[in-house]
Amino acid sequence: MKPPVLILHGACSQPAHLEPWRSYFTDAGHECSVPALPGHAPDDPAALAGLTIDDYHRAVVEAYGALDRTPIVIGHSLGGLLAQHLAATAECVGLVLVASLPPWRLPLSRRALPFFLPLAPWVMLGKPIRPSRTGLETLTLHDLSVAEREELLPDFGHESGRVYRSLTLGHVRVDRGAVRCPVLTIQGGKDRLIPPSTGRALARHYGGKLEMVAGHGHWLVAGSLLRLAAGPAKRWVAAL
């Protein structure tokens, strides 16, 4: 029997964004769980105003505990960092980090800086933030077709400023020695949020395999990129 798959979404995102990957791994014979982080589905700025990274960790642990067998854990972006934290504290068959945040201070590219600066005061105050449409199109969805962007954009929401502040200040750490399962890092070669150099460093950090998706950006969970991003993940999982 194949292991279940726990898939974790990223910041300002929700489970609907991961439907292509859920369907892909379900069709491959895996039971899939795609939980929503607190305050994300539905988008709830009032709740997010009081949520911290510890609340997210607890939600992920709860989702893990609902599974009847040890899972493969897949995390995209912030979900990748949460997946690392989970793998450091619970048994996992394998860990797939897709355009993942690293367990050190959040990298900020020059391309991202103009979009982050207007949000910085809200982040420092711990208030909920929401990326602009232009920011999402420029930094996150730039390599996708217009039609696919328009399908994805309505499902983006707010994020906890307290969580983002922890990421920005590098307060979320993971002991690499505590992650004992195999690790696959999947990184976009044109990612404008998480530089390719960070993806390479993350793979080295865990002594795992690196899969570069040349010519593509941060949104490697797009349905149009299943062959390029989810395909290598499925083959890697099958070989465990």
Q: Once rounded to an integer, what is the mean pLDDT over residues 2-14?
A: 98
In this predicted structure, the answer to whether residue 234 has a pLDDT above a threshold of 90 is yes
Distance CA 156, CA 13 (A): 5
**Domain extent for 225:** 5-239
Helix (H), strand (E) at residue 179? none
Four-CA torsion 137, 100, 232, 7, nearest 10 degrees:
-90
Instruction: Using pLDDT thresholds of 50, 70 and 90, give the confidence band for residue 1.
Output: confident
- In Å, what is the CA distance from 38 to each residue of 44, 83, 150? 9, 16, 25
Q: Residue 237: which of 22, 30, 75, 77 has the closest Cα? A: 30
CATH number at residue 131: 3.40.50.1820
Q: Which of the 8 DSSP states describes residue 192?
A: S
pLDDT of the residue at 83: 98
Q: What pairs with residue 184 in β-bridges?
A: 96, 209
Neighbours of 123 (CB within 10 A): 22
In this predicted structure, the answer to whether residue 25 has a pLDDT above a threshold of 80 is yes
pLDDT of the residue at 218: 97
Q: Could you give phi then psi for residue 179, rounded to 5 degrees?
A: -90, 105
Four-CA torsion 53, 135, 113, 101, nearest 10 degrees:
40
pLDDT of the residue at 113: 85
In this predicted structure, the answer to whether residue 56 has a pLDDT above a threshold of 90 is yes
Determine what percent of the chain is predicted with pLDDT higher than 70.
100
Distance CA 49, CA 39 (A): 9
In this predicted structure, the answer to whether residue 107 has a pLDDT above a threshold of 80 is no
Q: Once rounded to an integer, what is the mean pLDDT over residues 191-210?
A: 96
- pLDDT (tens digit per residue) in 153-186: 999 999 999 999 999 888 899 988 999 999 999 9
- pLDDT (tens digit per residue) in 129-153: 999 999 999 999 999 999 999 999 9
For every residue of 95-164, which 3-state class applies, written as one string?
A: EEEECCCCCCCCCCCCCCHHHHHHHHHHHHHCCCECCCHHHHHHHHCCCCCHHHHHHHHHHCCCECHHHH
pLDDT of the residue at 117: 87
Q: Which of the 8 DSSP states describes residue 4?
A: P
In this predicted structure, the answer to whether residue 106 has a pLDDT above a threshold of 90 is no
- Burial state string for 187-207 with b = 16 or more CB within 10 A and e = fewer than 16: bbeebbbbbbebbeebbebbe
Q: How many domains does the chain have?
A: 1
Q: Residue 169: which of 113, 110, 105 has the closest Cα? A: 105
